[in-house]
Amino acid sequence: MEKVSGVGGSDFRHYIYAGNTKVAIYSRTTGGLNLVRYIREDHLGGVSGIVNADATSYVKESFTAYGVRRRACSWKSPSAK
């Protein structure tokens, strides 16, 4: 379990595994909201995105071969215009 504190309250995150692979996140907020989100992996086993329970995208991730973050849609550096 992980506790994430923010301005609006706290978020308690429980990670769900299938074997050694993290497959989902169950999130319980102090405001009473309960959410399940699913983790998508790329071909190397890194996180490529997080998907809501209704199959809509929550977060898209993309990294270069050396682990530097880049924009998921354009593959450009986040600082590039």
Check residue 72 and give its pLDDT: 65
CA-based torsion, 21, 67, 44, 81: positive or negative:
positive
Check residue 75 and give its pLDDT: 60
How many CA atoms lie within 13 Å of 62's alpha carbon, on the beta-carbon side?
A: 10
Check residue 17 and give its pLDDT: 94
Alpha-carbon gap, residue 7 to 74, rounded angstroms: 32
Check residue 3 and give its pLDDT: 92
Alpha-carbon gap, residue 36 to 33, rounded angstroms: 10
Among residues 41, 6, 4, 51, which one has the least CA distance to residue 21? 41
pLDDT by position in tens, the chain (length 81): 899 998 889 999 999 999 988 899 999 999 899 999 999 988 777 788 899 999 999 988 777 777 777 776 666 666 665
